[in-house]
Amino acid sequence: MATIMDSMTVKPLSDALGVEVSGVNAADLGEATFKELREIFHENLVVVVKDQDLSPAEQTEFAQRFGEIQYHISPEYLMDGQPEVMILSNEKEDGKFIGLPDGGSEWHSDHSYVDQPTGYTMLHAIKVPKDGGDTEWTNMVKAYETLSDEMKERLEGVIGIHSFNRLKNQRLTVPVRHMNDPDYYKRSPPDAFHPIARTHPHTGKKALYISPRFTIGIKDMDDTEAQPLLDKLFAHIKNRDFIYRHRWTEGDLLMWDNRTTLHLALLGVPEGQARRMHRTTVLGEIPF
Ligand code: SIN
């Protein structure tokens, strides 16, 4: 395994967060290299492993090294024969999308609307359009650390309310394709309650854990106080100093830590250009 470790190169992606790793094969990582990679990942929040040629089964096995797979609550875009992989794509077959076409179009952390949200997400870039389709991540550790002491004190022990249901979220509109689809809203789990200042289980660092997509209010706080506070925090997390924008290359295996980042799919892919990503999610802990 020494040869694999020796060939691994790591370079920063931006001042905000992230590193690029090359010279490794995610389908064939020795234990020592895997542990080193996981350490680098926790410290840098986003890792893109370049030039990966992984089958969906190999991607699943790689994800399982980080923990238990978390299945998405929308079953329609899970891959036939490999449901651990969800397809994100604008491609159509027989007039129907083969994957979720507009996933991630508001800032969010994956599955924060359940009691035990996602720890890690991996996206494998299978088809990348010439134009559009970039993704952004914001560093929620920096977002927390740059709050005033007064704000940090105000947030101590404060609990955010998270919901999948767009109808409960005053900041969102309902996409046309869900307007006449009551089943989509029926599948929404009960609201989840998580600390707004969350501690990372491995690094011990604190991060803000809220998002415009899923955080709809604050427990035991009237909306007249809670919504302006959320607006202030949502404006703060969009500071460009905290944000990295990724331009995808086919073969990128990009993973992010959902405890310490939010992400946003910028969409904007022109008609006729294909984008296809294979996504796996790994269960995290109950936030504390
Ligand atoms: C996601 O939110 O998981 C999708 C991100 C992307 O497709 O760029």
Average pLDDT over residues 147-165: 97
Of the chain, the percentage scoring pLDDT greater than 90 comes to: 86
Contact 168, 106 (CB under 8 A): no
| Separation between Cα atoms, residue 140 and residue 108, nearest integer Å | 11
Report yes or no on 108 lying in a domain. Answer: no
Q: How far is CA 81 from CA 59, 86, 223, in A?
A: 14, 11, 45
pLDDT computed for residue 160 by the predictor: 98
- Is residue 40 one of the residues assigned to a domain? yes
Q: Is 56 touching ligand 1 by the criterion CB < 6 Å?
A: no
CATH assignment at residue 229: 3.60.130.10
Polymer length of the chain:
288
In the reported structure, the alpha carbon of residue 157 is separated from the centroid of ligand 1 by a whole-number distance in angstroms of 30
Closest-lying ligand 1 atom to the alpha carbon of residue 275: 7
Can you give the pLDDT at residue 83? 96
Q: Are 225 and 155 contained in the same domain?
A: yes
Number of domains in the chain: 2
Q: What is the pLDDT of residue 17?
A: 98
Task: Identify the weakest region by mean pLDDT among 1-15, 23-37, 144-158.
Answer: 1-15
Inform me whether the pLDDT recorded for 1 exceeds 90: no
Task: Identify whether residues 182 and 223 lie together within a single domain.
Answer: yes
- The protein residue whose alpha carbon is closest to atom 1 in ligand 1 is 104
Q: Which atom of ligand 1 is nearest to the CA of 263?
A: 2
Rounded to an integer, the average pLDDT of 83-94 is 96
Residue at 225 is within a domain: yes
Range 50-55 average pLDDT: 98
> Are 160 and 219 contained in the same domain?
yes
Distance CA 29, CA 34 (A): 6
- CA–centroid distance, 135 to ligand 1, in Å, is 7
Angle at CA 244, nearest 5°, toward 241 and 250?
170
Does the CB atom of residue 99 touch ligand 1 within 6 A? no
- pLDDT-derived band of residue 5, with 50, 70 and 90 as boundaries? low
221: pLDDT strictly greater than 70: yes
For the chain, the average pLDDT equals 94
Measured between alpha carbons, how far is 98 from 27 in angstroms, rounded to an integer? 25
Q: Cα–chain-centroid distance for residue 38?
A: 17
> In 3D, which of 122, 113, 104, 141 has the Cα closest to residue 255?
122
In a shared domain, residues 146 and 39: no
List, in order, residues 6 or more apart from 50 with CB less than 8 Å away: 20, 21, 22, 249, 251, 252
Asked whether 242 and 143 are in contact (CB, 8 A), the reply is: yes
Determine if ligand 1 sits within 6 Å of the CB of residue 124. Answer: no
> 6 vs 43, 51, 220, 245, 258, CA distance in Å?
20, 17, 53, 29, 29
- For residue 260, with 0-12 CB atoms within 10 Å meaning exposed, 13-18 middle and 19 or more buried, which class applies? buried
Domain that holds residue 199: 139-237
Phi/psi at 256 (5° precision):
-135, 155
% of the chain surpassing 70 pLDDT: 94
Please state which of the ranges 27-36, 80-89, 185-194 shows the lowest mean pLDDT: 185-194
One domain for residues 34 and 124: yes
Please tell me the predicted confidence (pLDDT) of residue 178. 66
The residue with greater pLDDT, 204 or 5, is 204
Co-location of 63 and 161 in the same domain: no
pLDDT reading at 138 higher than 80: yes
Give the pair of three-digit tokens for residue 95.
């007039």
Pair (63, 145) in one structural domain: no
Answer yes or no: is pLDDT of 177 > 80: no
30 and 122, same domain (yes or no): yes
Q: Residue range 152-160: average pLDDT?
A: 98
Residue 75 has a pLDDT of: 86
Task: Please work out, in degrees rounded to the nearest 5, the angle formed at the alpha carbon of residue 35 by the alpha carbons of 29 and 38.
Answer: 100
Residue 255 located in a structural domain: yes
96-124 residues labelled b (16+ CB within 10 A) or e (exposed): ebbbbbebbeebbbbbbbbeebbbbbbbb
Q: What pLDDT does residue 180 have? A: 66
